[in-house]
């Protein structure tokens, strides 16, 4: 049996624009997904995940047989797609295309809420499955395999940002296929969660349509790229106040691209009014989480009192990326 865990992330800057080759700076946070993988005697895959559906979710399938499980198709697809793609990548890496595996996944990261739950699940599953099949991948190899798995599931619409941040940990910079780690000062992240989620595929497709239809939407995407380049300087200088101002600006540009939501805006404004350095939505948007920078407790208190906010927590930068447990 092999077990691996991998962290989720928040975006300091650059989600969505990163899909079109602009740079982005995601930061891994101490909320993890764990995958436990055991090789089987046959060539079946059994996936067991406690976090999908009320009673958890189990599916078993072989090379010729479809998954047998009592669940609506959409749940079945959602539950299987990422883990199945991760299993395929690990089997391919280990040159064991027919290896049978039992995979059990559980996670502290809310689903579809902008904290990179899909990437963390995929990264942990690739690392644990490869290890169980006798192959120890380094974090860059795990990141590359996990990226391919996410890209498959999201029909080509994925950047390397989430999977690289999850695999290596820390603050990272991703621009196309150039992925590197960054030095970061102490970043006092506060996360507000509205209890909802957004559909990454649909939100990315919406931005693509706007960008094709309006020149100024394409300019908005490039403006996010310019903002990220400025943000990198602020990060290198440890200028947390400037980082906050740029986060505010980034939220405005994401809002213009149609990926915010009333609940996200309400939480962003609550954080700003409480004196946060800055606040923005994180990840694909549409619902889910915002991230604010505030070393004091005021943003947490204000979000606690905000009707649209279901949960608020402080997020520590995760210095470890994927690790075998």
Ligand X SMILES: Nc1ncnc2c1ncn2[C@@H]1O[C@H](COP(=O)(O)OP(=O)(O)OP(=O)(O)O)[C@@H](O)[C@H]1O
Which residues carry out catalysis?
162
The span from the CA of 160 to the CA of 147, in Å, is 6
The response to whether 120 counts as a known ligand-binding position is yes
User: Which CB, 8 or 100, lies closer to ligand MEV?
Assistant: 8
The response to whether 115 counts as a known ligand-binding position is yes
Distances (CA, A) of 320 to 76, 114, 180: 31, 20, 15
Distances (CA, A) of 260 to 14, 113, 198: 14, 12, 10
Closest CA to 197 of 138, 110, 266: 110
The contact set with Mg ion (CB under 5 A) reads 118
Determine if 16 is a binding residue for ligand MEV (CB under 6 A).
yes
Q: Which of 126, 284, 293, 318 binds ligand MEV (CB under 6 A)?
A: 284
Task: Tell me the closest approach of the beta carbon of residue 161 to ligand MEV, in angstroms.
Answer: 5
The span from the CA of 210 to the CA of 207, in Å, is 5
Instruction: Characterize the bridge pairing of strands 171-175 and 178-182.
Output: antiparallel
Instruction: Give every CB contact of residue 156 below 8 A, 6+ residues apart in sequence.
Output: none
Task: Tell me the closest approach of the beta carbon of residue 147 to Mg ion, in angstroms.
Answer: 12
The response to whether 111 counts as a known ligand-binding position is yes
Determine if 274 is a binding residue for ligand X (CB under 6 A).
no
Q: Which of 19, 45, 115, 322 binds ligand X (CB under 6 A)?
A: 115
Q: Which of 120, 167, 179, 204 binds ligand MEV (CB under 6 A)?
A: 204
Instruction: Give every CB contact of residue 280 below 8 A, 6+ residues apart in sequence.
Output: 11, 247, 248, 250, 251, 254, 268, 290, 291
The response to whether 72 counts as a known ligand-binding position is no
The response to whether 286 counts as a known ligand-binding position is no
User: Which CB, 45 or 315, lies closer to ligand MEV?
Assistant: 315
Scanning 155-163, 175-183, 208-216, 271-279 for contacts with ligand MEV by CB under 6 A, the matching segment is: 155-163
The response to whether 33 counts as a known ligand-binding position is no
Instruction: Characterize the bridge pairing of strands 45-49 and 25-39.
Output: unpaired
The response to whether 93 counts as a known ligand-binding position is no
Determine if 277 is a binding residue for ligand MEV (CB under 6 A).
no
Nearest residue (beta carbon) to ligand X:
283
- Per rule CB under 6 A, count of chain residues that contact ligand MEV: 13
159, interface contact from ligand X, ligand MEV, Mg ion, none, CB < 5-8 Å by kind: ligand MEV
Task: Tell me the closest approach of the beta carbon of residue 194 to ligand MEV, in angstroms.
Answer: 16
Asked if 11 and 162 touch (Cβ cutoff 8 Å), the reply is no
Task: Tell me the closest approach of the beta carbon of residue 305 to ligand X, in angstroms.
Answer: 26
The span from the CA of 12 to the CA of 228, in Å, is 9
Q: Which residues bind ligand X (CB under 6 A)?
A: 33, 49, 51-52, 78-79, 81-82, 105, 107, 111-119, 121, 162, 200, 283-284
Binding site for ligand MEV (CB under 6 A): 15-16, 18-19, 116, 158-159, 161-162, 200, 204, 283-284
Enumerate the known binding-site residues for ATP. 110-120
């Amino acid at each position: 049996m092999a077990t691996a865990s991998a962290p989720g992330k928040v975006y300091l800057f650059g989600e969505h624009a990163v899909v079109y080759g602009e740079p982005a700076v995601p930061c891994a946070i101490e909320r993890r997904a764990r995958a436990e993988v055991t090789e089987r005697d046959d060539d079946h895959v059994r996936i067991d995940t406690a976090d999908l559906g009320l009673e958890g979710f189990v599916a078993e399938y072989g090379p010729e047989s479809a998954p047998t499980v009592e669940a609506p198709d959409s749940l079945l697809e959602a539950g299987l797609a990422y883990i199945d793609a991760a299993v395929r990548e690990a089997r391919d890496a280990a040159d064991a295309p027919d290896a049978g595996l039992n995979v059990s996944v559980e996670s502290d990261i809310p689903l579809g809420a902008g904290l990179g739950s899909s990437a963390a699940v995929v990264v942990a599953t690739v690392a644990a499955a490869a290890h169980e099949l006798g192959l120890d991948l380094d974090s860059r190899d795990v990141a590359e395999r996990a990226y391919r798995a996410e890209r498959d599931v999201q029909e080509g619409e994925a950047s390397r940002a989430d999977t690289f941040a999850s695999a290596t940990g820390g603050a990272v910079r991703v621009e196309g296929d150039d992925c590197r780690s960054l030095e970061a000062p102490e970043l006092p992240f506060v996360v507000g969660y509205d209890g909802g989620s957004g559909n990454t595929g649909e939100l990315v497709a919406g931005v693509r349509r706007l960008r094709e239809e309006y020149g100024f939407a394409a300019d908005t995407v490039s403006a996010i790229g310019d903002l990220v380049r400025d943000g990198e300087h602020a990060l290198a200088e440890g200028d947390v106040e400037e980082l906050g101002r740029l986060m505010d600006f980034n939220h405005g540009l994401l809002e213009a691209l149609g990926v915010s939501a009333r609940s996200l805006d309400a939480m962003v404004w609550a954080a700003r009014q409480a004196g946060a350095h800055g606040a923005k939505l994180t990840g694909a948007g549409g619902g889910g989480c915002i991230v604010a920078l505030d070393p004091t407790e005021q943003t947490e208190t204000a979000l606690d009192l905000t009707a649209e906010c279901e949960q608020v927590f402080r997020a520590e930068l995760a210095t470890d990326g994927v690790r075998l447990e």
